[in-house]
Amino acid sequence: MTALTILLVLVLLLVVFGLLFRLQILTSIFSGTYVREIGMSNRINAVLMLVFMVVGGAAFFWSFSENFNKMNPPVASIHGHAMERMFWTTMTVIGIAFVLTQVILFVYSYKYQHREGRRAYFFAHNNTIEVVWTIIPAIVMASLIFAGWKAWTRITGPAPKDAVVVEVMGKQFNWLVRYPGRDMKLGVVNYRLIDASNDFGFDLSDKAALDDFTTNGEIHVPKGHPVLIKIRSRDVLHAVYMPHFRVQMYAVPGMPTRFWFTPTMTTDEMRAHLGNPKFDYELACNQICGASHFAMKAKVIVDEPDDYQAWYAKQKPNSDNADMMASYKETSKSAGLGKGGSLGAKAAAIEETGETPAAPLSVQTAM
């Protein structure tokens, strides 16, 4: 009923609007102004161009500075600081180009509005000017490319040998997390071995998998230490996105990916820094993955290295998980992977990510 009333009101409004419009046209025909000519309206539009530039520019400047702090998520990784600098440098460069070109556009629009008796200047081309404004942007772009390329190769280059390794696996709609355990080797996993008690699909015939451990979805990493995140997906595309660390990489089913970074502030330090005792680093999914895409998150906890080691030592390996050990036999049989496990060529190939398989954990010595 309400909808019908709203519809009726809208229709009536439209009719009224149409009648008013018709009336205005009829009066303008009578008063003789119903012929297109360059008159007052041209002037009004020219002035509006200038007004738009001034008011719009001021509003933009005001809202930008007003929101500046809110739009800058705090940075907590080494490469993140470099990226942040590059971002704002580039923003300054394009900001200058933005202001220059927009001001010219609106000022010219105002200044060269139609005037009776004046004639436009016949100016068809000028090669010097063309060359200048081709070369200057080309040089600017070249320097931006160079800076970007240097940073890109460093960020995406191989992780340091002593990087801490953690693997996350995306699934609808949460993140699974595993660590290599005491042997510092991530064991083989195979998606055919996944079942209710073996979310990762551990191949327990691989010794390296026996001491791997999973967490309840929390990721612990040590501060000031390179962290290599290995990334998998077991259903659709997801993306590991950690805005505070300036980290993003897709999780692709069938193709393990990776990203490494060095956190610079522990969770506690960041809480103190922001004055927000409830702050947590977050991992968000940033590639559409289904209805609850927006709710797919994991908590990342940056510990002091000592705390990290203590936490690491407390975790229970797969071999302690009786359910998993029991169900593995069933599942491996029904998956047709044969007695004695599935360490076939196929599974090994899946594991091959191009990384050194057992990047040693420097905290290993302490354990």
Partner 1 sequence: MATNLPASAHAQGGIGTAPVPHTEHDEHLHEHDEHHDQHWLWKYVFSQDHKMIARQFLITGIFWAIVGGTLSSLFRLQLGWPEATLDWLQPLLGKWIEGGKLSKEFYLALVTMHGTIMVFFVLTAGLSGTFSNFLIPLQVGARDMASGFMNMLSYWFFFLSSVIMFISLFLETGPAASGWTIYPPLSALPQAIPGSGMGMTLWLVSMVFFIVSQLLGGVNYVTTVINLRTRGLSMSKLPLTIWAFFLTAILGILSFPVLLSAALLLVFDRSFGTSFFLSDIYIAGQALHNQGGSPVLFQHLFWFLGHPEVYIVIMPAMGMVSEILATNARKPIFGYRAMIGSLIGISLLSFVVWAHHMFVTGMNPFLGSVFMFLTLIIAVPSGVKVFNWLATLWRGNIRFTAAMLFSIGFVSLFISGGLTGIILGNATLDIQMHNTYFVVAHFHLVMGSSAFFGLFAGVYHWFPKMFGRMMDEKLGYIHFWLTFIGVYLVFMPMHYVGIAGFPRRYYSWTGFDAFSQFADLNKFISAAAILAFFAQFVFIFNFFYSIFRGRRATQNPWNSTTLEWTTPIVPGHGNWPGEIPAVYRWPYDYSKPGSEVDFIPQNVPYSQTASSNLPYEREIED
Q: CB-based burial of residue 113 (10 Å sphere; 0-12 exposed, 13-18 middle, 19+ buried)?
A: middle
What is the smallest separation between the CB atom of 88 and partner 1, expressed in angstroms? 10
Contacts of residue 208, defined as CB under 8 A and 6 or more positions apart, other chains included, come to: 180, 183, 185, 186, 187, 188
CB 357 within 8 A of CB 167: no
Of 133 and 313, the one with the shorter C-beta distance to partner 1 is 133
Residue number with CB closer to partner 1 (80 or 312):
80
Q: How far is the CB of 123 from partner 1 (least distance, A)?
A: 7
Q: How far is CA 9 from CA 20, 21, 357, in A?
A: 16, 18, 69
Shortest Å distance, C-beta 364 to partner 1: 28
Nearer to partner 1, 38 or 366 (CB): 38
Report residue 260 as tokens. 């490494």
Least distance (Å) between residue 314 CB and partner 1 = 26
Q: Please, what is the minimum distance in Å from the beta carbon of residue 196 to partner 1?
A: 8
Q: What angle do CA 187, 190, 194 make, to 5 degrees?
A: 110
CB distance 245 to 263 below 8 Å: yes
> Quick check: 106 and 46 in contact, CB under 8 A?
no
By beta-carbon proximity to partner 1, the closer residue of 21 and 306 is 21
Kindly report the backbone phi and psi dihedral angles of residue 43, in degrees, each rounded to the nearest multiple of 5, phi listed first.
Answer: -65, -45
Distance in Å, CB of 63 to partner 1, minimum: 7
**Measured from the CB atom, is 256 or 312 closer to partner 1?**
256
Say how far apart CA 97 and CA 100 lie, in whole Å: 5
CB of 70 to partner 1, least distance (A): 5
Q: Measured from the CB atom, is 35 or 314 closer to partner 1?
A: 35
Nearer Cβ to partner 1, position 114 or 316?
A: 114
Minimum separation from the CB atom of position 242 to partner 1 (A): 9
The dihedral sign for the CA sequence 251, 255, 256, 259:
negative
Contact indicator for 326, 210 with CB cutoff of 8 Å: no
Report the amino acid identity of residue 77: S
- Which CB, 211 or 351, lies closer to partner 1? 351
Closest CA to 42 of 117, 109, 101: 109
